[in-house]
Amino acid sequence: MKIVYQDRKHGIMRIIPETLDDLWHLSHIIETGDILSSKTTRRIQDTTGDKLRSDRGIKKTFFLGIKVESINFHIFTGKLRATGSIISGPEELIPLGSHHTLEVKLNTPLKIKKERWSRWIIKRIEQAVAASKKLSAMIIVLEDDTADLGLVRQFGIEYYGPIIGNVSGKRVIDKNRQKHLDEFYQKVIKSILKFEDIESIVIAGPGFTKNNFYSFLENKHPEIAKKSIIESAGAGGRAGIHEILKKGTVEKLTTENRIAKEIASMNEILETMAKSPSKVAYGKKETINAANAGAIEKLLVLDTIVRSENLEKTMNLVENMNGEVMVVSSQHDGGKQLESLGGLAALLRYSIG
């Protein structure tokens, strides 16, 4: 994400989202009542043309401003849409006050105007800007002639695959088996090369396929092998990807990776609950009481409730008392576990109950 202009006095910031992660961040930054302005395309009725064209209308692109009433991020399509009433635009083409859905697009400038930019929203933007300069990690899980890829993004795991090869079983006599294996490996490599920003790759899976694939990389693509490591997994497919995440392998490779940190922090909460339950607070009432007592060492807050539960005061209080605050994405297993605890959980410096 790039910040191209900001005027804190008037609550204006102009940014350019560059990745899917940026759209995910923006889905939590944009709020009801914000003013969004961007280039958009809308079908306009053409009453001067022939009847057929008049019925269909014509598409025109122009700058439009809306006052946001709802915001939706569709994780599987990667689309971020804001709906609201139109407050600025070419009045000869569109009536002010009518409703429009503005799609926030990658590499297209977006102007956001807020009544108030909270400390946590500013912090989130700064994290998105910093993260855009970092590289992602990839997990590849291979099993026989099937490969599944998981791209580790800030909002969770983006899955690719399965990639299927035409490889016969070891017990089947096939003089072309090695050729088919090589072709399968090349298909996997072709998928890897689509992502130029991958810094770390974990090659995993049950059996020896992962080892054979790594050897192939060493011989044919040493530049990929240099940034890859082999890790054991008891299962293939997405289950294998989840297993690698839980092991913390990605965290070792990319220590600044947010999703690995969030899962590790959530695991720390659960482990402490099992061993010393009095050193953990969870749920809104219990956690806020712990914050007011100055007892929180680390606070985990689910991203979906930061605004709806009006928790900024509590988050600021924890930080002011030298506690750590982590906003956890709801899009991965760690976030779902936190959600089951009421969306709030904390490690305590000392027992308060």
Q: What percent of the chain is predicted at pLDDT more than 90? A: 50
Residues 113 and 166 in one domain: no
Residue 73 lies in a domain: yes
Quick check: 169 pLDDT over 90? no
Residue at 22 is within a domain: yes
The CATH number covering residue 262 comes to 3.30.1330.30
How many structural domains compose the chain?
Answer: 3
The answer to whether residue 238 sits within a structural domain is yes
98 found inside a domain: yes
| Residues 311, 245 within the same domain | no
Q: Which residues contact 325 (CB under 8 A, 6 or more apart)?
A: 298, 299, 301, 315, 318, 319
For residue 170, pLDDT beyond 60 = no
Q: What per-residue confidence (pLDDT) applies to 256?
A: 46
- C-beta separation of 180 from 172 below 8 A: no
Average pLDDT value over all residues in the chain = 86
- CATH no. for residue 42? 2.30.30.870
- Residues whose CB is less than 8 angstroms from the CB of residue 163 and which lie 6 or more positions away in sequence, other chains included: 146, 147, 148, 149, 184, 187, 188, 191
- CA separation for the pair 251, 76 (Å, rounded): 25
- Can you read off the two tokens belonging to residue 324? 């750590």
Q: Are residues 120 and 177 in the same domain?
A: no
- Output phi, psi for 94, to 5 deg: -140, 140
User: By mean pLDDT, which of 17-21, 118-122, 125-129, 254-258 is the weakest?
Assistant: 254-258
For the cut 90, the answer to whether the pLDDT of residue 141 exceeds it is yes
Q: Is 46 buried (19+), middle (13-18) or exposed (0-12) by CB count in 10 A?
A: middle
353 found inside a domain: no
Residue 140 contacts residue 231 (beta carbons within 8 Å): no
Q: Specify the higher pLDDT residue, 90 or 51.
A: 90
Q: Which residue has the higher pLDDT, 313 or 36?
A: 36
CA 290/CA 317 separation, integer angstroms = 11
Q: Which of 253, 288, 303 is a domain's end point?
A: 253
**pLDDT tens by residue, 174-226:** 677 788 888 999 999 999 998 877 878 999 999 899 999 999 999 999 999 99
Residue at which a domain ends, from 93, 109, 131: 131
Instruction: State residue 346's pLDDT score.
Output: 97
The predicted structure's pLDDT at residue 75: 67
Where does a domain end: 230, 253, 276?
253
Same domain, 29 and 107: yes
Per the structure, the complete domain to which residue 340 belongs is given by: 258-348
